[in-house]
Structure formats: C-alpha cells, structure tokens
Amino acid sequence: MRYLNKIVFINSAAIRYSEVQLDGNIHLIGTQGVGKSTILRAILFFYNADTQRLGIPVEKKSYQDYYFPYADSSIIYEVAREDGWFTVLSYKTMNRICYRFIASPYRPDLFIDEEGAPYPSDRIRSVLDKNGIKYSGAISTYEEYRNILYGNSDNKRDYSCYSLMESGSYQNIIRTIQNVLLNSRLEADYIKQTIITSLNEADSVIDLSRYRSHLSGFEAQLNDIGVFREPGMVRKAAGISTLSDDIRKRDLRINDLCRQLRGAYLETERILPELSRKIHEQEAVKSDFYKQRDKLDAESKNRTATMEGELAVLKNALSEAEAKRVFYAGKDIQTAMDRCNKLEILQQEQESLVVEKDLLSSKNKEASVLHANLIANLKNELAGFENEKQKQLLAAETEINARREARREYYRRLREELRHAASEEKERLLVDREKRTTEVAALKMRIKTARGQSGTSEELEAVKGRLGNYDANRKDLELKIRELKYELNYQTKEFETAGKHLDEDYQKLAESNEVKIEALSAKLAELTEFLDNQKDSFFNWLSEHKPGWEQTIGQVCDERLLYGKEFTAEVGEGDTFYGIRFTSGIHRNVKTKEDYLTEKKDAEEKRAGIQRFIATARQDLEAAKENLRKQYQSSVKSIKEDIYHAEYELEQLAVRKKEGESRMSALRDQATRLRQEEIRRLEEELNAAEAVLSSIQQEIATLQGKMDRELASLDEQEKDELAALDKELSVAREAISEEIARKKAELEERKSGYDREQLDSLTASGGDPKRLEEIHSRLAYIGGEIKYINETKALIIEYLKDKREMLDKVPDWTAESLRLQQIIHGEREELKKRLADVNRSIFKVDAELKELKESNRKALENREEYHRSTLLDWFTSRESIFSSMNRTDTDGDCRSLVREITIRVSEQSQKLSELRKEITAYTGNFSEDNVFAFKTSFSDDKEYMDFACDLKEFIDEDKVSEYQSRINTRNSDIFRQITADTKSMVSQEGNIRGVVDQINADFKEKNFVGIIQCIEMRIDPSQNKIVNLLKEIKRFNEEYSWDLGQNLFASSTDDTTTREKATTLLRELIKSMDAYSGNLIRLADFFDLKFRVIENRNDTGFVERLTNVGSEGTDILVKSMVNIMLLNVFKRNASTVFSDFRLHCMMDEIGKLHPNNVAGILKFANDRDILLINGSPTEQDALSYKHIYKLEKDTDSFTRIRRVITQFD
C-alpha cells in the first residue's frame, strides 16, 4: 500500500519543528488563526504542486514567502510504499521551490543537528552521502515533480521508486482533491470528462476538419460540370483564351520596357554619384578659384592695408595740419612770432632805456659821465641784438639742414621702393608669361588631338557592342527554344508513365486486399452461424445446469461438444464425468463463447481496417495523381512560359537590331558635330590665351621705361625741394643781416643824438625833458609788447610744436600720400588683372558646372520620375522586375520610358477591361466554391490573366472528365465515414452509462445522511446539434447505403427523393459545423450529464451544475461526497501497474457538519481507500479519527502542534 504517511515542518510557516502523522483520518483542532489551514494547504501542495491553487488569498503572502521564510526552512513528506519508504524534501533556493527525493524514511538526524538547528540544503546532501543514502538531483520545476510522483516519467532517469502511482492522466486526481478543500462548484463537463478518462486515458474524438474538407462545395459540384459543357460557355472560353494571349504579348513588351526602365534607372543611379563627384570636384575647383580670388584680394588688401592705413593716417594728419594752418593763419601767427622773437631785444632795449632814463633823471651826474654811460649802453644793446640774431640764424641753418637730410632720405627710400616694386612686377609678369605659354601649348595640343579623333561617344560604343551581340543572342535563343521543347516532351512522357505506375500499384494493392476481405467475410459468416446455433447447444445447457463448468469439464471439452446440438447430457452421480452423464454424442475440447466473440470482433475489425485501408488507398491514389498532375503542371508551366518568352524575345531581337542600327547612325552624326564644336571652342580659347600672352610681353617691355621715368621724376622733385631749402636759408641770412644793419643804423643815429644833446641839451641839472618823454613813451610801448609776448607765448609754443610735428611735415606727408596712392592704385590695377584671369577660369568652370548640373538635373528628374512611377499600379505589379539588379541596355531615359510604358499600360488596360468583362460573364455561371476551383471574384488583373491561362490549360487537357469521375465517389464516401465514426462513439456510451449507474447505486447503498434523500446523476441525449446530425446521417446511411453508393451523385433522376434527403442532411451538417467554433467532437459531446439532489425534501431537479445546495454544511457535504466518489472512480483506473494506494482529501472547517455526518463522510471516504484530514475549532467525535492534533500559539506567536489522541490498529 502506498500513501503519504507523514509531513514534517522545519522552520516553516511559523512552525519551528513539528511532525504530523497522515496514516489515517486526521483531525486538526484549534482556534482560528493557529495554522490549521496552513497544514492543509501544505498537504495539498504535496499533491498538486501549484502555488496558485491552494486557496491562499491574494492579499496574503505567497506560498514561497510564507512557508519558507528562512534559508533553512523546509517541508518534508514521508511516503510509504509496499517495499519501504521514501521522503520528499521541499526547500527554497533563489526564491524558487525545489524538491529532492530521498530513498529513506524520515530521520530527524538527516535534517537537524544534535542541538536542534536545521541543516541547510547543501549540508543535508553531505549528511545523506555520509550515511550512504541515495537521493535524486534537485527538481526545480513543479511539472517534473508531479511527473515523478505520479509515475509519468519520460524514462530518461529511473524515478519509479519514488512514485505514488503510475499514470499519465493524473490531473483529474489533483483537480478533485483541490475541489474538496476549496469547496468548488460541481460542473457536468468536468465530471463527464473524469468518467471518460477513467475508462480510457485516450479520449475519443471526431475531427470535423475532415468533414469540412470533404463537404466543401458538394452541392454545386454537379451543376458546375453541366454548366462547363454548354456550347455557349465553350465559345466564351475560346474567346477568353485568344484575348488573354494578346494581352500576354502586350504584357511582355511592357515588361521589356520595364526592364529597360530599370536599366535606365540603374544607369542613372550609376552616373549620379559620378556626376555628383564631378560636380563636387568642379565645385571644389570653383571654390578653389574663389578662394584664390579671395586670397588675391586678401593678399592685395594685406599689402595695401598698411599703406591704406598709412594713407588714412596721412590724410588725417594733412587734414589736421590744414585745420591748424587755418587756425594759426586766423591768429596771424607769423606776425605774433615776429613780435615774440623781439622779446630779448625789447628787454635789452628796455634795460637800456631804463638806464638812460635813470641817467637823464639823475641830477648829480655830470654830462660827460652821462654821455659816456649812454654810449656804453648803446654798445651793449647792439652787442645783445647781434648775438640774438646770430642765434636765430644758427637755429634756422640747423633746421633747414635737418630738413634737407630728411628729404634726401625720403627720396632715397622712394627710389628703393620703386625699384623693388618694379622687380616684383617684372617677376610676376615673367611667371604669368610662362603660365600663358604653357596654356597656349596645351590648347594647341588639344586642338591637334581633337582634329585627329573620329566622332564617337560612350553611348555609340555601347550601341556598337549591342549590335555585335545580336547574332549571338539569336542563336542562343533558338538553341534554348529547342532544348525547352525537348524538355517539355520528356516531362510529358514521364508524367504519363508515372500515372500508369500509380494505377498499377493501386490495382495490385486493391486485389490483394480484396482477397483478404473475402477470406475474413467467409470466416465471419462461419463464426456468426456458429454463435447463432449456441442457443440449443451443450454450452447453453452447461451454463444453466452446471455453474463453474469452465474450471472442470470446460478444460477437456472442445467446441463440437459444447456447441453441437447432436449431444445430450444429464446431471448425475457415480458413473459420471465431472458429475455429468452424456446420453449421446462424443467429447471434444472447445473454445469459450468469449473466445469466439473476441475472434469475431477481431475479424470484423480487421475487415473494417482493410476496407478503410482500401478507401484510404483510393484517396491516396487520387491525391497522388493530383499531386503528380500538379507537379507536372508546375514543371511544364515554367517550361511553357520560358518557350513563350524565348519566342517573343526572338521576335523583339530583330526589332531591337533595326532600332540599334538607326540609333548608331544618329549617334555618329551627333559625335561628328560635337567634335567640330569642341575644336571651335578650343580655337576660341587659344586666341584668347595668345592675346593675353601678347599683352603680358608688352607689359614686360614697358615696365623698365616706366621705372626710369619715375626715377627721373623723383630726382627732379628732390633737386627742386633741396634748392627751395637753400633759398629759404639764404633768405633767412639776408633778413637777419638786414635787421642787424638797421639796428646798427638806429643805434648810430641815437649815438649822434646823444652827442648833440651833450652839447646842446644837457644842463647842470642833468636831464632833457623831451628825451625823457620819448623814453617814457618807448618804455610804455616795450612794456605793452612784452605783455603781448607773454600772453602769446603759450600759443607760440603750441604753434612751434604743431609746426614741428605737423606743418613742417605737410610736404613730406603730401608726397608720401601721393606715393601711397600710386602704389595702391597700381596694386588694385594688378589685382584687377589677376582677378580677371581667375574670373575667366571661374566662368569656364561655371560653364562645365552648368553642363554637369544640367546632366545631374536630368538624371535627378529621371530618378524622380522613376520613383514617382513606383506609386503606379503597373510598377507595383512588376516588383520582381524592378527589384532586379540586372542591367538591360536601352537608349531611352526614365522619363521617356515611363511615358511609353504608361501609354502601353493604358492600351493594355482597355484590353484587360474587355478580358474582365468576358471572364466576369463566364465565371458568373459558377458558384464561388465550384468544383473546378474556378475563381469567381478577382482582386487584380493578374488573377484575371492567371484564370485565362488556367482555363486554356483546363480545356486543352480535358480536366473536366477527371473531376466528373472523382466527384461521384468522394461525396458518397463521407456518409460511410460519418457512419463509422458515429458508430464508434455511440458504442462507448453504454460503458459510461454503466459507470454512472454504479455511482448512483453506490450513493443509494451508502447514503449515511438522513436529510439528503437522493444524490443522482443521469445520462441524457446530447443537445449538440452536430452530434444529432451525425446520428441522423448514420441511420440514413444504414438504410440507403446501396443507393448512396450507386446513384447519389450521378446524373440519373431515378432516386430523386434519396438524393434530396442526403443533400439536406449534408447541408445541415455543413451549416452546423460553420456555426461550431471548434474542430473536434469529443465523446463527452455525445451525451449530457445532469445532477439531482433531494435535500430535506428540496428537489434541485436534474441540472448541469451544483453550486449552493441547502445550508453551508449541507453544500459542503454534498460536494465532498460527489468529489470523493469521482476520485474513487478515477483512482480505480488511474494506475496501470498497481492500484494499491491511498489518497488524502482535506476538508477545512469540518465543524460546519453535524457529528453524525462527519463520521459518515469519514467512512464514505475510507471505504474507497481515501483518507480525510479535517480541521475545526473543537473536537466532537474523537473515535472517528486515528490521530487528533491540537494547534496552539506560544508566547512568540509560533505554532505548536501537539498530538492529543492516537488510535492503534
């Protein structure tokens, strides 16, 4: 006996350590929340290993987190077997529940150390190894665990020693145990399937997809054949073939144009990068020229920037100097300077006059002394004046000499700069002349080369190449056509030979199996006759008068004695044979009746199998021939297409050759014209280059003369300026000499006056009033002049500063400004020349760029036209052509080809419109699911064309005759197939009904609950419409099987009623199958199962689902009883090797049941080898349980499990 014997908790679910025996009925008592449901769920997990079906509320901890809170948490199950014990260790690793099967009964020392500390999983393995105990590897999936426990092993490893049973259909056991604990509702579908699985693990089904396949379009099949053969339809079909052939040729031409378009596009894509590269290069050249132009401009600006800055400074300085000049002119600065220059003279005169005044005013001095002092005073005044003037003359000479040296240095620098500039210009002109000379030589060479070339182009060479390939292509095509026609003939012969072989093979197979059927039929007739005669036989007499005869006389009698009617016997004593006295006949050994029935059944099954085999072979033959035909059509279709295309290509080859010759002539004329234009353009460039070279040589010749003239001009200017300075110095000397002479004359005159005054005017008082008045007046004038000089002194100083810093430099600044302006002007003129050269190069590059961009624009337009055409229908319908990378030679561009294709597609569209009308009119006579699989609706023109081609092939090969012969057998076979399938299903209904009767009888015999008067199940006819139709077709076929086979689908009108009835049944079946969502009809669909419960005189009636029956306790009781009985039914047939095992059912809150009902449900389960584990707050019937455990919480909120009662067997 195998059963779960014990469960052990170690640091699991608030239980530190506890062992619970499960070898009988168990009662767990304790208040709410102490852990009763925890233990029940742990036991349920042993059976179902499904954390989602333990009844744990969503808001609570998961099974893993609650039952395995620590690394050393584990739950151990001990299982008893007839040959020993094994344990199942469950533990958590990496947040997953794992198992390990151990070939040993539970021993605490294997899992806990001496101090009571649990071992971790790795330590447990070490202890097991140390004790020599075998164990399995870690089981990490629930499915693998269940397969091992229930013996559904894949034989990769031998785990049979760890199985509780051996069954591949253990799921119903798990589900039923769950339902008991979770008090789930009872549903008929589940119970039906449980009963069916208990009888046979393999469920019986009918595949509706086979029926759907056989019955697709059966009603319209016969009508389609008649419509096809009408004369008017034949003429329409011929017209469709002719029209489609014309469209195919047009389509081939369009395809050829599309390949040319693809080639033009690929060529465009090829040249676009090249054009882009050339444009980029020319843009780069142009950019270089622009950079060169900018560089020339920048270099020129850099060269002139300083000069322009200097020129600006000079202009500003000249402007300021002019402003100063005007300002000082307004101040009459020269007069002021002249007056200021007399300061020392005036001061000396003032001193002299003061002395004279003092002398003249002195009354105590003598006249002679006075005269002497006056004369001395005059001498002093003259000496001071002369000295001052000599200083002024020296200053003027120094200043003019400095200015003379500055001008000489200035003109020396100008001559050096002029020579340097002339040298640079000459060097530039020599370089430019060398460049122009090279350019002229290159242009002459290009002109010579162009004149020596013949007119050609890439396109012309390509056309020549294509023309040279036309003859070779023509020969290749002719050879290809011959090879394809040979291959077509070969394929046709192979097809005909293969078809003959298939027919011969089938004929041989059918003949050999017909012989077997005849032999089996003869044997069945013999067995049937033999069994029919057993009513009055010795066998029948033995069954009535000698119970147990099979173990006595049955061992020595044969069938002639047992089933023969010529033998008689009586029961007697003494001289008897096993208590039987024969009155006549002889004795033979025989088989039992069951042996004959089995033999008959085997023969019937063999004959049916052979018949099915022949029918299948016939279908296989038709399928093979159809597949062969399809393969033949598939292979020859491509060959025919290749022949058609090759012949069309051969026709087009001549057309393209003529077009190529015409194109080559035009290209030659074009190439000659382009060559002449190129020569003319090169000659124009040569003339321009020679003109520039001549201009450069002229500039070199005139450069030296210009430099000499400018140097002579500078020498003349220097000479004039130096002469002007000499003259200025001479004038200054003369002016100072004149002033000194005037001063001497003045003083001499004064001396003469003094002499006269000495004699005439001086008196003893010593003074001349008139002279004093003159002196006073003169002193007043001098004082005024000195005051003016002092007031004007700052202006004079500023003027002298401005004169030194600005006004004196105006001539130099003016000359420098003119020089800078000349240099800048020359630089700008040179820049213009160089920029003109660069601009000419830019103009040339622009012309090339314009041509390249025009080509690029056209290429882009062609590409854009190609891309726009991708949105057109004719493009998308030829995606394979346009996805090819093969290049097709063409003379056209994308735009012209798109226009031509569009025109031809429009013309073809008109033809297709005609074809669509013809095909629509033709196919309108057929149903959508016609027997020929002709399309009646078409989504695009390709489908119309495919239909036309297929129709032509269909007519040419007379395929309608094949359909006519095939249709007469296929749809009649469906009746026989449905009859066989339905009969097989109905034959099993009796076994299921027997199980239900056993369950009902079991309820009646062992009903222990007084308030439940009845619990009953009933088999009702199925409400499934398809099932009822299948049964009706079975009855119809059994009645009209001969008519169905001979006349149902033929054209005879004799059995109209039978055909209409058959058609109606099949139509209804098709309609029902279309409404049915599945593809399978199961055995459970062939009957309905209903429940009936009479509880306290409340009758539920027969229903398909039990939810709430009476009070809560009654509901639990009823559902538990039904589930226990179902579990017993399944348990009885679950294990194919042995059935000696027990299962557990868990019932929580059993206190809701009356104690009498508790005892009854325990006995109800135990009688079926099912143990109950109940939970409730208190104990009411202690003697009904083998073990009673009380659960309590300690002070640390850990659950303590204490065994209260144990009954020993």
Encode pLDDT of 430-478 as tens digits: 888 888 888 888 888 888 887 776 656 666 677 777 777 777 888 888 8
Question: Among 993, 1206, 1208, 1116, which residue's Cα sits nearest to residue 20?
Answer: 1206
Supply 1053's token pair.
Answer: 């009108």
In sign, the C-alpha dihedral spanning 969, 972, 974, 979 is negative
* Coil vs helix vs strand at 157: coil
Distance CA 214, CA 819 (A): 114
Supply 632's token pair.
Answer: 């033949």
- Lowest mean pLDDT: which of 26-30, 69-73, 319-323, 825-829? 825-829
Structure confidence by residue, pLDDT tens digits, 357-398 = 776 666 445 555 666 777 777 777 777 777 877 887 888 788
Distance CA 729, CA 398 (A): 10
Name the maximum alpha-carbon separation found in the chain: 234
Better-scored residue on pLDDT, 179 or 921: 921
Structure confidence by residue, pLDDT tens digits, 608-620 = 777 677 767 777 8
Q: What residues form DSSP beta bridges with 815?
A: none
Question: What burial letters (b/e) apply to 807-820, b meaning 16+ CB within 10 Å?
Answer: bbbbeebebbbebb
- Lowest mean pLDDT: which of 96-105, 607-616, 791-800? 607-616
Write the CB contacts of 466 (distance below 8 Å, at least 6 apart in sequence). Answer: 656, 660, 889
Distance CA 19, CA 9 (A): 7
Domain ranges in the chain are 3-176+1146-1206, 205-216+958-1093, 238-309+811-879, 458-563+597-712, 894-957
Structure confidence by residue, pLDDT tens digits, 411-429 = 888 888 788 878 877 887 7
For β-strands 26-29 and 1170-1176, DSSP reports them as: parallel
Q: In the structure, what pLDDT confidence band is assigned to residue 41 with cuts at 50, 70 and 90?
A: very high
Asked whether the beta carbons of 445 and 719 are under 8 A apart, the reply is no
In sign, the C-alpha dihedral spanning 939, 943, 947, 950 is negative
- pLDDT score of 592 more than 60: no
Percent of the chain whose predicted confidence (pLDDT) is above 70: 83
Q: What mean pLDDT do residues 864-872 have?
A: 87
Check residue 588 and give its pLDDT. 46
Asked whether the beta carbons of 109 and 101 are under 8 A apart, the reply is no
Better-scored residue on pLDDT, 949 or 757: 949
Distance CA 1162, CA 223 (A): 70
Write the CB contacts of 770 (distance below 8 Å, at least 6 apart in sequence). Answer: 761
- Lowest mean pLDDT: which of 230-239, 640-649, 971-980, 1172-1181? 971-980
Highest mean pLDDT among 675-679, 692-696, 725-729, 1171-1175: 1171-1175
Asked whether the beta carbons of 693 and 437 are under 8 A apart, the reply is yes
What's the chain's Rg over C-alpha atoms?
67
Query: For the chain, what's the residue count?
Result: 1209
Distance CA 68, CA 89 (A): 12
Check residue 568 and give its pLDDT. 56
**Backbone angles phi and psi of 810, in degrees to 5:** -55, -45
Question: Among 1119, 1102, 1121, which residue's Cα sits nearest to residue 1111?
Answer: 1119
- Lowest mean pLDDT: which of 414-418, 523-527, 1028-1032? 523-527
Asked whether the beta carbons of 1072 and 995 are under 8 A apart, the reply is no
Highest mean pLDDT among 25-34, 197-206, 922-931, 1123-1132: 25-34
CATH of domain 238-309+811-879: 1.10.287
Structure confidence by residue, pLDDT tens digits, 1006-1026 = 666 566 778 888 888 888 898
CATH of domain 3-176+1146-1206: 3.40.50
Alpha-helix residue ranges (DSSP H) falling in 957-1055 = 959-987, 989-1005, 1025-1047
Check residue 70 and give its pLDDT. 92
For β-strands 1187-1193 and 84-93, DSSP reports them as: unpaired
Asked whether the beta carbons of 1187 and 1206 are under 8 A apart, the reply is yes
Mean model confidence pLDDT for the chain: 79
Fold matches, 3-176+1146-1206 and 238-309+811-879: no
Q: In the structure, what pLDDT confidence band is assigned to residue 589 with cuts at 50, 70 and 90?
A: very low
Distance CA 861, CA 857 (A): 6
Write the CB contacts of 378 (distance below 8 Å, at least 6 apart in sequence). Answer: 352, 747, 750, 751, 754
- pLDDT score of 1046 more than 60: no
Side chain identity at residue 131, one-letter code: N
* 3-state SS, one letter per residue, for 856-869: HHHHHHHHHHHHHH
Q: What mean pLDDT do residues 157-174 have?
A: 79
DSSP, res 456: -
Q: What mean pLDDT do residues 642-661 have?
A: 79
Check residue 887 and give its pLDDT. 66
Asked whether the beta carbons of 283 and 958 are under 8 A apart, the reply is no
- pLDDT score of 1051 more than 50: no
- pLDDT score of 546 more than 80: no
- Distance separating the N- and C-terminal Cα atoms of the chain: 16
- pLDDT score of 252 more than 60: yes
- pLDDT score of 765 more than 50: no
Asked whether the beta carbons of 422 and 740 are under 8 A apart, the reply is no
Structure confidence by residue, pLDDT tens digits, 1070-1116 = 888 888 888 888 888 888 888 888 877 788 888 877 666 666 667 77
Distance CA 813, CA 807 (A): 10
Distance CA 68, CA 62 (A): 10
Check residue 969 and give its pLDDT. 60
Q: Is 11 left (phi over 0), alpha (psi -120 to 50) or beta?
A: left
- pLDDT score of 767 more than 70: no
- pLDDT score of 120 more than 60: yes
Asked whether the beta carbons of 827 and 300 are under 8 A apart, the reply is yes
Q: In the structure, what pLDDT confidence band is assigned to residue 548 with cuts at 50, 70 and 90?
A: low
Structure confidence by residue, pLDDT tens digits, 275-317 = 888 888 888 888 888 888 888 888 888 878 888 888 888 888 8
Check residue 980 and give its pLDDT. 78
- Lowest mean pLDDT: which of 15-24, 99-108, 544-553, 861-870? 544-553
Alpha-helix residue ranges (DSSP H) falling in 1140-1208 = 1155-1166
Question: Among 474, 476, 729, 512, which residue's Cα sits nearest to residue 610?
Answer: 512
